[in-house]
Amino acid sequence: EVQLVESGGGLIQPGGSLRLSCAASGFTVSSDFMTWVRQAPGKGLEWVAVIYSSGVTSYVDSVKGRFTISRDTSKNTLYLQMNSLRTEDTAVYYCARLDTTVGFDYWGQGILVTVSS
Amino acid sequence: QSVLTQPPSVSGAPGQRVTISCTGSNSNIGAGFDVHWYQQLPGTAPKVLIYGKINRPSGVPDRFSGSKSGTSASLAITGLQAEDEADYYCQSYDSSLTSYVFGTGTKVTVL
């Protein structure tokens, strides 16, 4: 059974850093396309970053230069390193697997990141 | 501001048919990129409802159907049920933004 479990969220001050983790089971993170999607309180979904099976990464413009997506094959875990956090980064962050045919087919339960002083 | 526009809300009585539009452009839906639809029940993660414009994953009732024409796509729900109350999002890829994009989202209310 495919499962994704996020961790590492919490309250952080503006300008601070946080690293989210997403532990995967039931498939191999490095063999698939893995993404982070976020949802600000009461708002819609926003794609944040992707790491392809090749290792190539891509980001939404608003986080370029601040966020880094990566993976650890030995731990079968996806990460999102978030630096220079802003209040507008406050959201529930989901990790999701991206299938080329089906779209975002498996999602984690989501983890709340609150950026506030 | 999303490049895929959806109506903020739609509503219908049980048993009725409702449709949700997703309006894009020639750099996303009109360029031939796949359109997927997601259902997000309150307090839960989204789940795939329709993929590749018209296909349903196993377990999704055939009351849900998708279509596409030009730079727009639509999701139809026939025989509306109380359990269909949720937020619905379309999703595609935009070649100008080189970004995966979601629609603005539509809240479906069953009267």
Q: What is the pLDDT of residues A38-72, one digit of tens each?
A: 999 999 999 999 999 999 999 999 999 999 999 99
Q: Which amino acid appears at position B94 of this protein?
A: D
Give the mean pLDDT of A25-31: 96
pLDDT surpasses 70 at A33: yes
Query: How confident is residue B52, by pLDDT bands cut at 50, 70 and 90?
Result: confident
Cα–Cα distance for residue pair B88/B105, rounded to 1 Å: 6
Cα–Cα distance for residue pair A52/A50, rounded to 1 Å: 6
Per-residue tokens: B81: 């049920």
pLDDT at B53: 72
Subunit contact B102:A60, Cβ cutoff 8 A: no
Subunit contact A61:B100, Cβ cutoff 8 A: no
Nearest residue to B66 via CA among B88, B44, B83: B88
pLDDT at B47: 96
Interface size A-B, in CB pairs within 8 Å, comes to 58
Residues of A in contact with B34 (CB under 8 A): 101, 103
Which residues make Cβ contacts (< 8 Å) with residue A66, sequence separation at least 6? A82, A83, A84, A85
CB proximity B17 to A under 8 Å: no
Q: Using CB atoms within 10 A of its CB, is residue A100 exposed (0-12), middle (13-18) or buried (19+)?
A: exposed
Q: How many Cα atoms are found within 13 Å in the side-chain-facing hemisphere of A66?
A: 16
pLDDT at B54: 84
Cα–Cα distance for residue pair B56/B15, rounded to 1 Å: 20
Nearest residue to B49 via CA among B24, B74, B31: B74
Nearest residue to A60 via CA among A46, A44, A48, A51: A48
Give the mean pLDDT of B57-71: 94
- Nearest CB among B2, B48, B97 relative to A103 is that of B48
DSSP string, B24-85: --TTTGGGT---EEEEE-TTS--EEEEBTTTB--TTS-TTEEEEEETTEEEEEE-S--GGG-
pLDDT surpasses 70 at B48: yes
User: Chain B, 61-100: which have a CB under 8 Å from a chain A CB?
Assistant: 87, 89, 91, 97-100
Residues of B in contact with A98 (CB under 8 A): 100
pLDDT at A4: 98
Residues of B in contact with A50 (CB under 8 A): 100
Give the DSSP letter of residue A85.
Answer: -
